[in-house]
Structures are given as structure tokens and as C-alpha cells.
Structure 1
Amino acid sequence: MKYKELVMSDKFPITPEGYEKLNQELTKLKSVERPAVIIAIAEARAHGDLSENAEYSAAREKQGFIEAKLADLESKLSRAEIIDVKSLSGDKVVFGATVTLVDEDTEEEVVYRIVSDIEADISKGAISFSSPVAKALLGRNKGETVEVYTPKGLKYYEILDVQFIS
């Protein structure tokens, strides 16, 4: 499936690592958190009058949060399109690529890995494919200069390298 088709569909790209992280979170919610909140509700219910029972209200609220999170994770996992970065190659920037850029004004080099919204973590150099920088880079080739509108104004980056590392 091509990137444009993927973005236009209900599916969204994710790395195998990101998919596994979501799956682990889902498993933890189902096997640890959900049973714990059910026990907490039962214990609070045993204390009597539910209308004035703060423990019961808090446990029910937590249960609602857990059930909503479970539904969200199950939805994301069912719509995920796993992109195996190891199978990619070339000089074109696509989802999963690790891109080395140089700011043409400051000569500062930065390295970003383009990942899903769920996996994005700027402190680890992982940016979302829907971010302004990634949008400017996607489809471009090593050696090209890209124009990026940032909160600090217009920036120009040269693509120094494109790698596919997981």
C-alpha cells in the first residue's frame, strides 16, 4: 500500500515496535488493570450506601477510563498497517526512514526517525509522519533541500542521509 493510499484510508502506518508496544499495553489493561478495578468496585460496594461512597465512585470512574482506553487500543490495533523498516531501502524519505538533516542557516545537524503519531517522541528523535517536518520530507530524496514552516519561522534543511534502521 502506498503512503498516500494509506493516509487516505482508515489504516495508519506503524512500526513493528510500535505495534508490539500497543499490544503490550492492551494485554496489561486486560490482565492487570481491569481485574484490579473490578475487585476495587466489589470492595467499595461492600461498604454500603453507594450514593455517598467516594471509593465506589472513584473505582467506577477508573473502570470507565480503562474501558475507554481498551476500546481505543483495540481500534488502533485493528487499523494498524505494520511497516517493516528492514524491508525498505533507497534514498527516498518514506515512513520509517531515519533522516539526517542539516539546517542551512545554522549548519546544525539533526537526525529524525519518521514514525506514527503513537510512537513520536522528540526526545528520542522520533517524529510523527503527520508533523510539519516529516510532511516536508516525505517523498524527497537524499541531497534535496526542503522548506519547513515551523513555529520559529521558515527553515531550510538539506537531506544529508536516508537510512532504514529499526
Structure 2
Amino acid sequence: MGETSKQVILTYEGVKKIEQELEYLKTVKRKEVTQKIKTALSFGDLSENSEYDEAKNEQAFVEGRIATLENMLKNAKVLDEDDIKTDIVSIGTTVKVKDLEFQDDLEFTIVGSAEADPASMKISNEAPIGKGLLGKKVGDKVVIQVPDGVTTFEILEIKKSK
């Protein structure tokens, strides 16, 4: 079984996002790709038909993505808002920390790896910062090994993610 049955931890928002992408791929994108294949087939000779090859590759990608998303939903453990505690950092919490080196206040939302989006400060529970913060309490100082060295955070606040 291995990777395929790995449990995916999602928030309700994460589930909705995956369902929306799935719906888009199954309806809009599948039709587009099918149309591209039909158009490419009308050009005749498939041996030198790059449009056909591209369309078939795109189709393989779309179908692969659909399978991945369906698998994620099948193995999803959806976080129940009521199970999210704010006494310690856990998946589904937003953590306000002070970066003690730069004296910056930062806010991270801890999410399952499927929802991670560092640009939006949504940090995976499996990433170094997420892993380092999990289980910690307000007032704790946490030293975390990051790619470019070591960062020290002081936890200022823990709240449920919106």
C-alpha cells in the first residue's frame, strides 16, 4: 500500500478546495482536453502530430490529478473544529510567534501537508517550522533548524484558524 493510503489531514476549508478543484477538472478541464484531442485527430497523421501528443499528455496529467485528489479525499481525516484545542499548537491552529533574531511578529497557520501554502503562511505539520511548533505552549521558546540555519521563536498566542 505505502504512500497511497497515507492519511491526509484536512480542515473543512481544505476539503472544500479539493472538491472544487476536482469538480473543475472533471467537468471543464476534461471537456477541454477531449476537445483538443478531437481537434488534433482531425489533423491526420499522428506520427508527427505534436498537438495530439500534447493533448494526450495533458489528459494523462488531468486524470492523474483527479486520481490524486480523489485518493486524498478518500483518506482524509477532517479536523473537527471542536477537537482543536488552543492550549497547545496543533493542526488547525494559528500561532503568533516572535522571531527573536529579527524581533518580527509572524503568524503561521498549521495545516496538514496537503493544504500547505507557505506564501499564505499556511505551514505543513511535516515542515521544519510546523513540526517544531507542534505541541508547544504560549510562552515557550522554540529553536528550529531551518534550511539556512537556526531560528528561535517565542510563542505569543495560539488560536483556532478561521
Give TM-score, length-normalised by structure 1.
0.87
SS of equivalent to 1:143: coil
Please list, as runs of the form range in 1=range in 2, the aligned pairs for 1:22-33 lying within 5 A after superposition: 22-33=18-29
> For structure 2, which runs of at least 5 residues remain unmatched after alignment?
none
1:85 and 1:97 in contact (8 A); partners too: no
Which of 19, 22, 28 is equivalent to 2:15? Answer: 19
Which of the residues 57, 62, 67 maps onto 1:66? Answer: 62
Q: Does 1:162 align with 2:158?
A: yes
Inter-CA distance 123–54: structure 2 relative to 1 (3 Å threshold):
closer
Match of 2:48 among 48, 52, 57: 52
Give CA-to-partner distance per residue, 1:44-70, whole Å, 9 cap, x none: 212222212222122111111111111
For the aligned residue pairs, the C-alpha RMSD in angstroms reads: 1.7
How many residues are paired up? 158
User: Which residue of the partner structure matches residue 123 of structure 2?
Assistant: 127
Q: Aligned partner of 1:109: which letter?
A: D
Distance 1:86 1:46, change over 3 A: same
CA distance in 2, matches of 1:37, 1:107: 50
Cα distance in 2, alignment partners of residues 94 and 76 from structure 1? 20
**Aligned runs of 1:86-101 on 2, under 5 Å?**
87-101=83-97
- Counterparts of 1:155 and 1:49, CA distance in 2: 59
Q: Distance in 2 between matches of 1:87 and 1:71?
A: 29
Quick check: 1:102–1:110 contact (8 Å CA) kept in 2?
A: yes
Output the CA distance in 1 between the equivalents of 2:86 and 2:55. Answer: 52
Partner of 1:77: 73
Q: Is the Cα–Cα contact under 8 Å of residues 87 and 158 in structure 2 kept in the other structure?
A: yes
Deviation, 1:157, is 1.2
- Structure 2 Cα separation of the partners of residues 56 and 107 of structure 1: 55
What TM-score does the superposition give when structure 2 sets the normalisation length?
A: 0.89
SS at 1:112's partner residue?
Answer: strand
The 3-state SS of whatever aligns with 1:56 is: helix
Structure 1: gaps of 5 or more residues: 1-8
CA contact (8 A) 2:9 2:112 kept: yes
Q: Is the Cα–Cα contact under 8 Å of residues 104 and 156 in structure 1 kept in the other structure? A: yes
